[in-house]
Structures are given as C-alpha cells and as structure tokens.
Structure 1
Amino acid sequence: MQTIIGCGNSNRGDDGVGPYIAQQLKQRLSSYQLSEVQVFDAGTGGMDVMFKARGSNSLLIIDAASSGSAPGSVFELADTDLHISTDPVTNMHDFRWQHALYTGRQIFAESFPKDVKVILIEAGELGLAVELSPPVQQAANLLIEQLFQRFVGDAQTTQSRARISHDMAQRMAEEADASAEEKAAMLAEVAAGLQSQAQSADDLQCGISLLRCAISLDDLPDETSATLQVQLAVALSQLPGESSEPLHEAYLLLENAIGILTLDEERAGAEMQQGLVVQALAASGAMDGRIAATYYQRALRVFDSVRHPAEYAIIHNNLATLWLSMPRDSGQHRLYESLAVQAFETALANIDAKQHPAEYAMLQNNLGNALQYSDSGEALANKLRALDAYDLALELRRDSPLLQANTLANRANCLRDLPDDISEANSGQVANIQRALADATLAQKLFRHQGEHSKAQMMDELIAELHAQSEGATAGVS
C-alpha cells in the first residue's frame, strides 16, 4: 500500500500546498480502481500521519518549506536524509509529521512503513489566505501531474489494451464474411476475456459494449441472443459504483433470457445469477430480498449435489448469506438465522469434502461465522459449534494462505469470548486468549505476505486488544 499525505494549513497561503495537492490528486485518482494507493489531507494534524501511514509499504509526505529558497522550489528527502525529531512536544498543536514518524515507528514497529519520502515545496506567502502564490501553484500542479502519471500509468496501459481489443473485435465483426451467430461468438469470446481479466471499470465497459453489439446483430437465433443476454447481465452486475441502474437492466435481461432458454443447465445458471442480482438490489432497498430465494430454489431443481456439487454448494451459500442479510428489525431475524444455518448444514451434508475441498471449506468457514454471531439458541453452544466448523475449514485450507488467514481471524474472534472451562462460565479465559493471540498473529503474517495490508492492520488492532484482554484476565486470576 502506498500512502500519500498532504500536511499544512490551508488558511495560511502557501502553507496549504500539501492539503491542496492531496485534495487534487485524490480527486483525479477517484475514477481509477487503485486499491494500493490511498491519499489523505492531514491538515496540521501530525498525529494523522502516524495512524494513516500504519500498515503501508511506503509513505510520501508533502508539506511546505520555509528555508529561504526561491518560492516554488521542490526538495525531495529520502528516509535516510530525514531528521526525525525525538524532542518532546508540550501540546498536540506542536505535534508535526516529524514527531509522527518517530512516534509511529516506536508504537507500530513493523507495521509502520520503512520506505518514507518527504517532498517539500518552498513557500512564498504564509499570511492569512486560501490561495497559493503563482510559483507555488505552478510547482504544485506539476507535482500532481507527476504523481498522477506514476500511479495510473499501469491502469492507463491496461485500459488502452482493453480499448484496442474492443476496437479490433468490433472492426472484425463488421468486416468478416460470417454468419451473425459466428460474429456474435467472436464478440462474446473477446468480451469474456475482458471480463475475466478486468482491472478497471473501463475493461468491463469495453466488454459490455461488445456484448451489446453482438445482441444487436440481425438474424441472431433466440437461444444465442438469450445466452448473450445472460453474459451481459453478469458483466453489468459486476460494474462498480452506487447506481442501481446496471442491476435493474441485468434483472430485465435475465428475466427475458430465462423465458427463452431451453437447456436446463443454462436456464438454471440464469436463475442462479438472477438470485444474486435480486440480492444486490435488495441491499439498496430496491427489491424484496426474499424473491432471491425463489430463484435459488428454482436453480436447485437442476443443480443438485450429485451432478453439480459446486453450483449446489454456492447456491446454498448464497441462500444462507441472503437470510443473514435480512433486516434485523423485521422481528424475524432469529428465524432467518436458523434458515441460514440450515442452508449451510444442508449443503455440507451433501458435499464430499475430499472431492470438493474448496466448497466444503467455504461452507464450514461461513457456517462458523453464522453460528458465532447468532442470536438464536445458546451462545456458548453456538460458539463451540463455530469452533468445530473453523477447525474443519482450516484442515482444508492449508494450501490457501489467504483463505487460511481469513478462517484464523474468525477463529481468534470466537476464542476470545470463550471460558477455558466450558462447564464453568467464570473459570477465566487465559488459555483461550493465548490461543486467539496465536491465531491472530499467524493471520497477520499471512495477510501481510499476501499483500492484504488492510486486513493485516485489522489483525494488528485485534492483537493489541487481545494483549489488553490477556492482562486483564491474568490479573483476574492472580
């Protein structure tokens, strides 16, 4: 994770150059899916530097300088060139990024970035003002452009490739001496490639555009058109953003396709996808989520545990997720929790763990989560059942570090609330807290190794909480 933090006072003329750059850069990057870049305006809050940098691989701080150089001069300091202050501060107003770097390393140790750079832009005007002076404005805009190009270069290259693939496929379809069905198949194949390797919304949009072209071809058989509509609906449902319009279009496409498709597996696949679309629309209040269950049940008429075990497991997992997402103020949340557990257990009873280890482990992990946080039944009995589920999942996730880390984190949260002696609720939690610490520590290492820094940071916080809980539990029995 690359973290960029702009520091300074936006009401003091050129001292606001750091916040200005952070705000402008964040706005320009907002249309790109850059999960490994985060930008913050920290203002004059040095403490923010410490907390927001935690868990990052590298940190870039941008601030104003007042060294007597020409206004707009840019200085870049590497970590080895920084004089990181260790002088005590008398109040938080004096706590600047120099102190934050030192303090952050002392508190967070390995979780604090080792690669630190500071870019300083020489200020000219530091009086009360909300605008930058011309030379500082020019230097700021140049730096924004340089950083923008650095971070989106790869994304733009990917988007260019997607656009090239789109244009070539469209041109070939227009010029090819082939039937409408053959042209549609070619367009759909290119679209499928863009979907499967999509790294941005533009990749998906290129695929969507090709599918629309395919569907619009004259003399296309109804079955072929329906199959393409399902593929288009899947692509639309993957689009990021808050608008529900793509989901509504996906719903209509799937409803039309379901009425046309004659092959059982193809129709069941469309019904399965329709359940997901309805579930997504329900999350925004646009539809009743219970309608999704109807589509899932229809798909299960074809996707049984014998002929289609993977689909069978996924549909039951989706059903359980649906019930767990139902509003808790409905007065029926305990019924929904019971239905979720039942869906998980039904699938597990019909899935062979040796033949389908990934699906079996997924169901056990998610069953553990449902039981751990359930309000239904006895809390202690549910947590013990959850532990058994997590143990079974972990046996099958030894070769999948990221999935293993997820289950370890879940088990750690479950263990921290269990008494050491389940027959005596007041027996203390010293041993189980230590087990939870071991799980959380291993999960933290696995997350970090897999580049999941936000999850690793969550484990840092859990470990700190467990240490505090351990001290309290030890004091309680001493």
Structure 2
Amino acid sequence: MNPNITDSVVKATIAAIVSESATTEEQIQMLLEIALGWQKKHPTAKDLRNVISLYYRIYEMCGEDYPLLKAKAKVGMGKALQRIPNVSPQLLLQAKAAYDEALPILQQFAVKAEVAEVQMNLGLALQSLVPFNLARIVDSVSAYHQALQVFTWQDYPQEYAILYNNLAIAYLSMPLASAREYFHQGLAVQSLLVALKHIKLSEHPREYAMLQNNLGNAWQYLVTAHPLENNLRAIAAYDEALKVRNRQDTPIEYAHTIANKANALRSLSDNRPQLAIQSRAYYQEAWEIFSQYQHLKQAQLIAKLVQKTVTDITNYHQQ
C-alpha cells in the first residue's frame, strides 16, 4: 500500500514525537525508526522527498551532540535520494555527498555491518555517476571490495550476492581498451562464478537467479575465439535463472531473462531456422510483458528485435 507520506504527515509526526516526555536522543531515535519504516513501504518519489525532509529535520536536531545519529540521518537521506528516479545526476551527487560525510563517523562509532552497507550504497552511487563522467568505476569497485570484507557469504549471503553482481556489472562497464577489455570481461565472469559457489538455488533462489542471469550476459558478450561455446554457456545460465524467474511471480525479471536468452539463441541461429523461431517466441513474450507493465523503453527495443528475427526467418525460407 502507498504510505502517503505528505508534508503535513511529516510535520505531525515530528510534533508528536517532540511533545513526548523523552530525551532529545530518544526523540531522534524514534524519528529515525519512523523514517526507516516509511522507506520500507514502497514509497513514491514524492513520498521519498518528504522522507528526506524528515531526515533533514533529524539531522538538525542532532546538532553537534549526537554525531552517530547525525551520520545515520545522512545515510537515510542518501538511500532515499538514490531511490528517486531522475534523468540528471544531481540526486546521486547529493547521495554520494551524504555517504562521504557519514562514513568517517560510522567507521569511528558504528558496527562494521553499518559501515559496509554504506560502502555498498556508495559503490552503487559511484557506478551510477560514471556515465555522467562524475565518478570513476575503479572507485566503485574499491567500495564494493571494502564492503565484501564484512559481507561474507556465510554471514550476509544476500549482500554478498548483490555485491558480486554489482562488481560484475562494473567490470563489464569499464572502458574498452583491447587486452584490458578482455581482462575486465574475464573478471566479470569470475566474480559471478565465485559468488555462485556459495549462493545456492535451494537457499537463496532470488539471488541465485540474479547471478545466473548476469552470468549468462557475461558469457554471451565475452570476446573470445569460442563464441559458440560461450553462447551455449550463456543459455545454460539463463535456464538456471528461469528455474526461479517466471511470468506469474517475477514478470519483469522473467522478461529480461527470456529476452537475454533470445539474444543468445539468435546468435546461434545461422542456418538453424528452428533457433530463430525459438528466439522470436521469447522476444514476443518479453515484448508482451514489458508492454503490459508499461516498461515502454524495453518494449520498443524488443519490438525491433522481433522484427529483425522475423526478417531472419523469412531469409532462411527464401534460401
């Protein structure tokens, strides 16, 4: 349900907590809990902006007396800023600044997991700023590696899986430079394989599917002298992801994976019209799902691929 976090709700919440017969520190902690609870309820962009205003009020209440709580308010702001969809990088820059301010204080006073979570979020903010030429991908990778010192597979399997997934995406996005490019692509594959040694289908299905889907992508676009083998490996990875992802429970994730599988099948379809027909069926289903859920950008992209595959099939029949 939409939490409907309006400006008046924020003001009323602050007024109610401040009127309590509690210490300032207790009031700040209560407000932090409320803000965190709101963030977990799938808020809209407008809701998130009002959550940020609550965090800012908490930040002001801390003054110089409660540095750790002040840092936690900054982290909350950063997380909310990252979740607001925006075509410009301004909110991401604000999120990065919030994490940069909070980290030294958290490293001094907070538990290691809190520090690692901020490093993970900072890595993602930096990664998102790279296309704007406002951050370096190597700094994002460094932040992820710092977080991995705490988020081990034994104690934090979900965070561990997400970090290795993000690392793989970061490696694949590194600048193209012949031999170095191949090295980065290899690192991406290796990152995902390392994570999959520990993230099992039976224990962490969602994370397992995420890793397998991106392993398929990494295999598919790995530049080697063995494209056939790599495409077959990619298809096997997508099939593993599809053991979890389905149209009913995870429609968008499912659509991405079948579209990826369609790409791999189409790459293999030279003189194999049956593979082109399979590819077209997957593209068609992905297009239907993206259209149904208003993911129009993806739907338009897939529509072009459907048409290209139809052309491929027509050409086979004319040969």
Same fold (TM over 0.5): yes
Contact 1:169 1:186 in 2 (8 A): no
In the superposition, relative to structure 1, how do residues 351 and 418 fare at CA in structure 2: closer, same or farther (>3 Å)?
A: same
Is 1:467 the counterpart of 2:310? The answer is yes
Task: Measure the CA separation in 1 of the matches of 2:225 and 2:214.
Answer: 18
Contact 2:28–2:62 (CA<8 Å) still a contact in 1?
Answer: no
Whole-Å separation in 1 of the counterparts to 2:224 and 2:43? 41
Q: Report the CA distance between 1:307 and its aligned residue.
A: 1.1
Conserved 8 A contact 1:190-1:207? no
**CA shift for structure 1 position 164:** 2.3
Maintained 8 Å contact 1:236/1:250: yes
Match in the other structure for 1:215: 59
- Would you say the 8 A contact 2:62–2:70 is kept in 1? no
Say if 1:162 and 1:194, in contact at 8 Å, map to a contact too. no
Which moved further from structure 2: 350-359 or 447-456? 447-456
Partner of 1:433: 276
> Per-residue displacement from partner, 1:35-73 (whole Å, max 9, x unpaired)?
xxxxxxxxxxxxxxxxxxxxxxxxxxxxxxxxxxxxxxx
Matching of residue 293 in structure 1 with residue 147 in structure 2: no
Name the counterpart of 1:236. 81
Pick aligned residue for 1:355 from 183, 203, 213: 203
Following superposition, the deviation at residue 266 of structure 1 comes to 0.9
Aligned partner of 1:250 among 92, 95, 100: 95
- How far does residue 415 in structure 1 lie from its aligned partner after superposition? 0.5
| Runs of 5+ consecutive residues of structure 1 not aligned to the other structure | 1-157, 420-425
Q: Are 1:319 and 2:167 counterparts?
A: yes
Pick closer, same or farther for the CA change 1:377–1:341 going to 2, 3 Å: farther
Q: Is the 2:3–2:38 Cα contact (8 Å) retained in structure 1?
A: no
Which range is displaced more, 462-471 or 439-448? 439-448
* RMSD (CA atoms): 2.4
Distance in 2, Cα, partners of 1:451 & 1:283:
25
1:206 and 1:179 map into 2 onto residues whose CA distance is 24
With structure 1 as the length reference, what TM-score do the two structures score? 0.60
Structure 1 residue 242: Cα displacement: 4.7
Tell me the TM-score normalised to structure 2 length: 0.88
User: Compared with structure 1, are the counterparts of its residues 415 and 241 closer, same or farther at alpha carbon in structure 2 (3 Å cutoff)?
Assistant: same
1:348-391: CA deviation from partner (whole Å, max 9, x where unpaired): 11211111010000111111112212324522221111111111
CA contact (8 A) 1:183 1:214 kept: no
Counterparts of 1:84-103 in structure 2 under 5 Å? none
Report the Cα distance in structure 1 between the residues aligned to 2:3 and 2:243, rounded to whole angstroms.
Answer: 40
Aligned to 1:170: 14
Paired AA for residue 99 in structure 2: L
**1:395 alignment partner, SS class:** coil
Matched, 1:198 2:43: yes
Name the structure 1 match of 2:240.
392
Q: CA contact under 8 A between 1:437 and 1:466: conserved in structure 2?
A: yes
State the match for 1:182 in structure 2. Answer: 26
Q: What does residue range 263-412 of structure 1 map to in structure 2 within 5 Å? A: 263-329=111-177, 332-398=180-246, 399-412=249-262
**Bigger CA radius of gyration:** 1
> Alpha carbons of 1:349 and 1:213: their partners in 2 closer, same or farther (altered >3 Å)?
same
Distance in 2, Cα, partners of 1:204 & 1:330: 43
Distance 2:229 2:298 in 1: 28
2:287 counterpart of 1:444: yes
- Cα deviation, 1:264-292, whole Å, max 9, x if unaligned, reads 11111111111112212222112221011
The 1-side partners of 2:62 and 2:243 are apart by: 54
Identical columns (%)? 33
The number of residue pairs the alignment matches comes to 311
Secondary structure in 1 matching 2:197: helix
Q: For residues 67-109 of structure 1, give each alpha carbon's deviation from its aligned partner in whole angstroms, at most 9, with x where no partner exists.
A: xxxxxxxxxxxxxxxxxxxxxxxxxxxxxxxxxxxxxxxxxxx
Greater share of helix: 2
Deviation at 1:450, TM superposition (A): 4.1
Q: Secondary structure at the match of 2:243?
A: helix
| Partners of 2:224 and 2:52 in 1: CA distance | 44
Give unpaired runs (5+ residues) of structure 2: none
**CA 1:376–1:223: 2 relative to 1, 3 Å:** farther
Structure 1 or 2: more strand by fraction: 1
Distance 2:238 2:70 in 1: 44
1:216 partner SS: helix
Q: Counterpart of 2:155 in structure 1: which amino acid?
A: R
Displacement of 1:228 in angstroms is: 2.1
